Amino acid sequence: MPTITLNRKVFENLVGKKLSDEKLRDRISMIGTDLEELGEEEIVVEVFPNRPDMLSEQGFARAFSTFVGAKKGLSKFVVTDSKEKVIIDKNLKDVRPYTACAIAKNISFDDEKIRELIQVQEKLHVTYGRNRKKVAIGVYPLEKIEMPITFKAENPSEIVFQPLEGDKEMDAYQILKEHPTGEDYAHLLDGLDKYPVFRDAKGKVLSMPPIINSHDVGKITEDTKDVFIECSGFDFDVLHLALNMIVTTLHDMGAKIESMTLEYPDKKRKTPILEPSSMRVDLSYVNKILGTELGEKELKSCLEKMGYAYENKKVLVPAYRADILHQVDLIEDVAIAYGYENFEEVIPNVATLGQSDDFEGFKNKILNILVGLGYLETCTYCITNQKHQKERMNLDLDTVTLANSISEEYDSLRSWMIPSLLDVLASNMHQEYPQNLYEAGWVFKKDSKQETNILEQTRLGVVLCGQDADYTKIRQVLDLILNYLEVKYSVESTTHNSFIKGRVARAKIGGKGVAYIGEISPEVLENYELEMPVAALELNLSELYKIIK
């Protein structure tokens, strides 16, 4: 989890209330963060990943001030129209297709404010931005920019500028090979023929996201008064949330926030939008989950303590909150505001004997074999998207889709494990090979015989990725597992569109298919932009357990 270093004087001024060390230790811990260090000049706090809006003095103080009662309810932000625009070129579609932008004016920058801005930018990059893969953030001195700004994709040899803290002009290829930051993030542009670039009306390069800003047009100094902010990536809603976190931080530094028009090839958008969203909350459900007897007045008080507004049974959610997806998320904040120390401890009137689950013990024995082989365990989401489960794997599956998904990135439940492991490999192509991974997790299939019409099973996925990964090596893994379990099995040649023809097999026990093993086809590897061979195993642990038992 990320830690941030807060300037104590700035933090207390923003809170509007000075608390004793004892009170600070207690309240910072009870708001849902961990206090690492409390000094006279600095406060070091560990912020949980679900609250990226608290990764700055301003964001943390905004949440803390309502929690301790120094301020009340929803923060309000005024946004005026700058009349300026950013033109997004259609050739970015397969490169880095989206951006969200804003202007902040009248900031009195000094060394401290520059430090604060750099800290929140980098912390958001690492956490919410997934090391710049999901979100890259750029902040630029507005006085050096000629409007309008253009965001487009160009040939790397045509992108020539002096990178931030560099000593000479370089083209994009040189930056990725010779500049320290370019070397660190070069993998994010692997496989692209064209690279994204922001230019102003005079053609000056602002930055090459997600790598680095221009030294000329992308460096904030104490002379800077007005700034242009952009967030780029692959999901507009994610970018807009990141932008809101940055601009509200600048607002609390004293900035005036102005919106910009984004001219996409097919539509126009305007950002930032800092109006709160609304979500209905059921008081009876709140009390059921928490075991409380709160009334409307107490509920409103708790919500205001966490920075919300409550009107007509609806909660107004701040535009910078990325973690509020369901009313359960609101209930968690109500519990924090109510105070976990105020919940009465109740000893159940039931006597039980704890013991390990037999299936979990069975699963762990198998996983320990893979640990002994030196493989690395991963943990991916059960919620994924159809494109990864079907199109990238050359399959036509009937997946379990979500009725009200809020993002195309997470619109269905996974049907099998191997796509999730290939995703991990695709994200780590810049790491050393071989990469041998495994994961045991839930998969979901439609089944009318089940009460929920969904069959849930646990499967084991194993992938071997390296120059020598082949059918023989993955077959050895399967043999090791099944021989350890002392079960008789057969392995028969089969066909599967995700595997190479003639290099894929089905393992059966008593005529029941329990596993697929084989070499992933070149088409699938190309879909994931993987350059190394991959051999994979998918073993149905739920079926295997039933057979053995």
Range of the domain at 21: 3-50
Find out whether the peptide bond into 148 is cis, omega within 30 degrees of 0.
yes
Q: How far apart are CA 123 and CA 58, in angstroms?
A: 14
Q: Looking at residues 99-122, what average pLDDT do you find?
A: 95
C-alpha 418/C-alpha 465 separation (Å) is 12
367 and 512 fall within a common domain: yes
Please check the confidence at residue 18 and state whether its pLDDT lies above 80. yes
Q: What is the pLDDT of residue 387?
A: 85
Q: Is residue 272 part of a domain?
A: no
Q: Which tens digits make up the pLDDT trace of 144-156?
A: 999 999 999 999 9
Q: How far lies 50's CA from each of 60, 110, 172, in Å?
A: 13, 30, 35
365 and 245 assigned to the same domain:
no
Are both 320 and 380 inside the same structural domain?
A: no
- The region, left, alpha or beta by phi > 0 then psi within -120 to 50, assigned to residue 241 is alpha
- What confidence category does residue 525 fall into, taking pLDDT thresholds of 50, 70 and 90? very high
Residue 347 located in a structural domain: no
Q: What is the pLDDT of residue 53?
A: 95
Residue 349 has pLDDT above 90, yes or no: no
CATH number, domain containing residue 152: 3.50.40.10
Same domain, 416 and 521: yes
Question: Using CA atoms, how far apart are residues 74 and 317, in angstroms rounded to an integer?
Answer: 8
124 assigned to some structural domain: yes
Residue 127: pLDDT band with limits 50, 70, 90:
very high
Report the chain's C-alpha Rg in angstroms. 27
Do residues 12 and 117 share a domain?
A: no
Helix (H) or strand (E) holding 221: none
Where residue 351 falls among pLDDT bands split at 50, 70, 90? confident
32-59 mean pLDDT = 92
Percent of the chain with pLDDT over 90: 83
Is residue 228 very low, low, confident or very high in pLDDT (cuts 50, 70, 90)?
Answer: very high
Residues 293 and 442 in one domain: no
Summary mean pLDDT of the chain:
93
> How many Å apart are CA 58 and CA 112, to the nearest integer?
13
CA neighbor of 119 nearest in space, from 54, 199, 72, 62: 54
CA 407 to chain centre: 12
pLDDT, tens digit, 9 for 90 and up, residues 236-285: 999 999 999 999 999 999 999 999 999 999 999 999 999 999 999 999 99
Regarding whether 482 and 432 lie in a shared domain, the answer is yes
Closest C-alpha among 397, 417, 413 to residue 405: 413
Looking at residue 549, its pLDDT comes to: 82
> How far apart (Å, rounded) are the C-alpha atoms in residues 267 and 545?
53
Phi-psi region of 514 (alpha: psi -120 to 50; beta: other; left: phi over 0): alpha
467 and 367 in a common domain = yes
- pTM here is 0.77
Which of 511, 422, 438, 517 shows the shortest CA–CA distance to 479?
A: 517
Q: Is residue 70 in some structural domain?
A: no
Quick one: 236 and 300 in the same domain? no
The answer to the question of residue 74 being in a domain is no
413 and 475 together in one domain: yes
Check which CATH number belongs to the domain holding 515 and give it. Answer: 3.30.930.10
Establish if 64 belongs to a structural domain: no
pLDDT above 80 (res 1)? no
- As for how many domains the chain has, the answer is 4
Judged against a pLDDT cut of 80, whether residue 432 lies above it is answered with yes
Q: Is residue 269 situated within a structural domain? A: no
Confidence grade of residue 198 (pLDDT, cut at 50, 70, 90): very high
Residue 185, domain member (yes or no): yes
> Are 364 and 421 found together in one domain?
yes
Residues 35 and 10 in one domain: yes
Digit-coded pLDDT (tens) for 52-84: 999 999 999 999 999 999 998 999 999 999 999
